[in-house]
Structure 1
Amino acid sequence: MWHRAFAGGGAALPWRSLARRSLFAGASSAVDSIILRSLKDHYLEVSKMTPPPKVNPPSSYTIVKGALDQDGPVLRRSYKEEEINISVMRLSNIMPSGADDDDGDDSINQLFLHVEVSKPGRDDSLQFLCGLYPDAVGIHSVCLRPKVTESSRLTDMTKYQGRVFQELEQKMRDAFHIFIETRGINEKLFPFLQAWLYVKDHRNLMRWFKSVGTFINEQKPA
């Protein structure tokens, strides 16, 4: 009789589907609460971390305004008629996963520099990729490429970049090391850039916890 009554009133009500939806809705709400609670706990924990002592860059360099909140150069200086811009990241951030497992804590002492040396009136610049350590700088590559700009961070990778640095004769490699050393690209940059990366990583992590929490907690429009 009940079957006939429901059938006579139109399509049968999907009781099982409704119950499943209710169960999923309840589970989703519980999962959201767990994530939000965890994000808040981690946010508070990270906010209490003690920052490293303030370190100033070498006197010849100035900190690029807004560098902490954007990608791009961190330090800038003039050398004669040249302008020198330095960008930095941790070497571990660009190495394949597991590639530096044997280094242990030493991985935090390996920084990767992009150095751009430009001259007025030229559309290209001399660009170096370097490894920076507490006691040394090593050049990985050197090439002449279009200047890096805010509107175009990526350049034409098909353009001939020159020979692999390690394939250059020793005399030329030594000369390039002297070239960057003369312009203040040396281990004296390490203390500031390491501390700067710590602050940037800390700020990015705090921002990530907050933005993910805001996304999950945002109510759907009625």
Structure 2
Amino acid sequence: MASSLLRALRRACTWRRNPRALTAVTATTRFEARTYAAPPEPLTKSPFDSNIIRILRNEIEYQQEYAPPHQPETKFNSFTVEERRGEQVVTINRKFGECEDIRIEATMFDGCEHVPACGDDSSGVNVRLHLSLIVDISKGEGEDELEFLCSAWPECLNVEKVYLLKRGRMAARPYIGPDFRDLNAKVQEKFYEYLDARGVNDELAVFLHEYMMNKDRIELLRWMDSLTSFVER
């Protein structure tokens, strides 16, 4: 009896000198209790949460049946397409010639304009969606880059700005050039020919609109699925 009491006192003194020992023992005891205890009963969802879950599941099912998205494209002509999951942009790249690297970042739909509807109903309007593009053309690491800001419409691509960027050597307030539409018509035409030779043209605008329509549906379904998972937890 005395020896048992003495061992207990020694253990108590050890815990006082070494708090970590007490923490470790306590943590182990708690872990063992969780391991061997009966699993907790599942929480009962409130009618409000259950209704949200039901509505979200129904909407996901409807969207998948109404216009199911397809696997995103990874190639377009000479471009490689980089899908950026969960983001509002897509990146496409290609090499041109021996030294040029072309990198394009396109947004998801960021604007629209209303145009008169064709056909018998002349009073109707259609929505024409818009994408923004940044086209960077470089010729080696550390060299200057030519950058185009473009608008991509469902059937055509328009250039808005042209910059010559000096990476790491830009002035505090550089002169970035005139509005592209203020340039001489022949100069504008030559820039469009320059881009067309590199595959940056109306055909690319059509592809990007189709790609973004599909991406918009994919991201919508992912978003609703994440919402459903959160409410279910």
Q: 2:136 matched to 1:136?
A: no
Alpha-carbon offset, residue 201 of structure 1: 1.0
Matches within 5 A, 1:1-222: 29-48=46-65, 49-51=67-69, 58-64=76-82, 66-70=83-87, 72-80=89-97, 81-90=99-108, 93-95=109-111, 100-102=113-115, 104-108=125-129, 110-122=130-142, 124-145=144-165, 160-218=175-233
Contact 2:88 2:107 in 1 (8 A): no
Structure with greater contact order relative to length (CA < 8 Å, sep ≥ 6)? 1
Label 1:177 to 1:209 Cα distance change in 2 as closer, same or farther (>3 A): same
Alpha-carbon offset, residue 67 of structure 1: 3.5
Alpha-carbon offset, residue 127 of structure 1: 1.5
The residue type equivalent to 2:53 in the other structure is L
Which secondary structure state, in structure 2, belongs to the residue aligned with residue 100 of structure 1?
strand
TM-score (norm 2): 0.62
Of the two, which has the highest radius of gyration? 2
Distance (Å, rounded) in 1 between the aligned partners of 2:172 and 2:152? 24
Contact 1:57 1:189 in 2 (8 A): no
Label 1:193 to 1:68 Cα distance change in 2 as closer, same or farther (>3 A): farther
CA root-mean-square deviation: 3.3
Q: What are the Cα deviations for residues 108-138 of structure 1, in whole angstroms up to 9, with x where unaligned?
A: 4x43322111121325522212123454321
Alpha-carbon offset, residue 188 of structure 1: 1.7
Contact 2:156 2:201 in 1 (8 A): yes
Identity %: 26
Query: Unpaired runs of 5+ in structure 1?
Result: 1-27, 148-155
Which secondary structure state, in structure 2, belongs to the residue aligned with residue 209 of structure 1?
helix
The structure in which a higher percent of residues are strand is 2
Which secondary structure state, in structure 2, belongs to the residue aligned with residue 107 of structure 1?
strand
Label 1:116 to 1:165 Cα distance change in 2 as closer, same or farther (>3 A): same
TM-score (norm 1): 0.64
Contact 1:55 1:192 in 2 (8 A): no
Which secondary structure state, in structure 1, belongs to the residue aligned with residue 50 of structure 2?
helix
Contact 1:36 1:213 in 2 (8 A): yes
Alpha-carbon offset, residue 210 of structure 1: 1.3
Alpha-carbon offset, residue 72 of structure 1: 4.9
Distance (Å, rounded) in 1 between the aligned partners of 2:230 and 2:49? 11
Superposition misfits of 4+ residues, deviation over 6 angstroms? 52-56
Alpha-carbon offset, residue 204 of structure 1: 0.6
Label 1:51 to 1:170 Cα distance change in 2 as closer, same or farther (>3 A): same
Contact 1:117 1:127 in 2 (8 A): yes
Alpha-carbon offset, residue 34 of structure 1: 2.2
Alpha-carbon offset, residue 169 of structure 1: 2.8
